[in-house]
Amino acid sequence: MSQRSSTLVKIATAIGLLALLSGCVVGDGDDARHLQPLPAKLVSQMSTKGMSQADPIFIRIFKKESELEVWKRDRSGRFALLKTYPMCRWSGQLGPKTREGDRQAPEGIYTVTPDLMNPRSQFYLSFNLGYPNALERSQGFTGSALMVHGACTSAGCFAMTDDGVTEIFGLAREAFAGGQKSFQVQALPFRMTPENLAAHRNSPHIAFWRNLKEGFDHFEATRQPPKVAACERRYVFDAAGDNSRFVAGSQCPAYEIEPAIQTLISERRASDDRRYSALTSASAPSPVLAYADGGMHSSFRKMLKEMGPERLQSVVAGRVEISRPDAALLDPYGATGSSSEATGSIAIR
């Protein structure tokens, strides 16, 4: 057995054991599903982009657009976009999750380690985002088992097709086997553009979203996942020096952003601020935009209209038998409440 194969086996075994010990929900599916090799087409795309299967990954999630991006480090040492996956479903409104049972998909900066991977999820495959993180815990936020998973149905999580989550899980597995200790996930309300911030400027979450935009900007400017700390009620990105002096919920110490990064960020922020000012000064005050309960990628909305909920779920979750018909996409917009909530067939996170 090669050294790489041996490492993969150890990683897979550790993931499985840790998932069981951490109390993750275990399904009845094929125990080898988490070891499926990456599709040849995806491997070819990586090669074309100067990436290997073992290179580190970084993930961004955008609620409004219902998209999940996987980025990978290429031979230049910077991260480049590998693939964008449409999300079947996410639940709740734009805005952070704050309490158990609020049906909100979370927003924030999360760190995923091998022990948060669940190879035997009842939703085909999944990984836990690690909500609540340190900042959220310091604010008294509650909730558990907030996942990216398959089966195309959601009650507080980010739901993908089974094919999609298989690729994402495989990319994480290979990155861990290649030596990555953890990968960062930025779960965001929307693409953090001046246009979106201007459109949502009257939201009660706007201050929080501006803080999230700082992390978005750091990655956009440097193409490196930012170093993250937390203090008071906010994230701090790429602070010079040791992050151990930052304590979530406590007063922020004096700090500076890494000088090279600060230059790049300042240029980007000045440009965005000019665009934002132009957008907000040229129009009447914007109302707070209301959204239906949760979201679905436009491609799935079209399929839903053409095929109906039962046929859609059978197509997008083709390899796993869905024994929860009441948990299917019976109410994709959430306007009248989900029948799964009434029957208790899915835990409301």
Specify whether 205 is catalytic. no
Strands in the chain per DSSP E: 57-62, 67-73, 79-86, 89-90, 108-112, 117-118, 126-128, 147-149, 158-159, 183-188, 228-231, 234-237
Specify whether 200 is catalytic. no
**Choosing from 24, 34, 88, 149, which is the catalytic residue?**
149
**CA neighbor of 292 nearest in space, from 54, 37, 8, 89:** 89
Residue 124 has which token pair? Answer: 């085909």
CA 301 – CA 205 distance, rounded (Å): 27
**CA neighbor of 148 nearest in space, from 186, 102, 198:** 186
Residue 262 has which token pair? Answer: 């600060």
**Choosing from 24, 88, 152, 157, which is the catalytic residue?**
157
Whether residue 91 contacts residue 340, with contact meaning beta carbons closer than 8 Å, is answered with no
Q: Are strands 89-90 and 158-159 parallel, antiparallel or unpaired?
A: antiparallel
Q: Using alpha carbons only, give the angle 186, 85, 52 rounded to the nearest 5 degrees.
A: 80
What is the helix, strand, coil percentage profile of the chain, to 5? 35, 15, 45
Q: Which residues make Cβ contacts (< 8 Å) with residue 242, sequence separation at least 6?
A: none
Which residues belong to the active site?
A: 149, 157
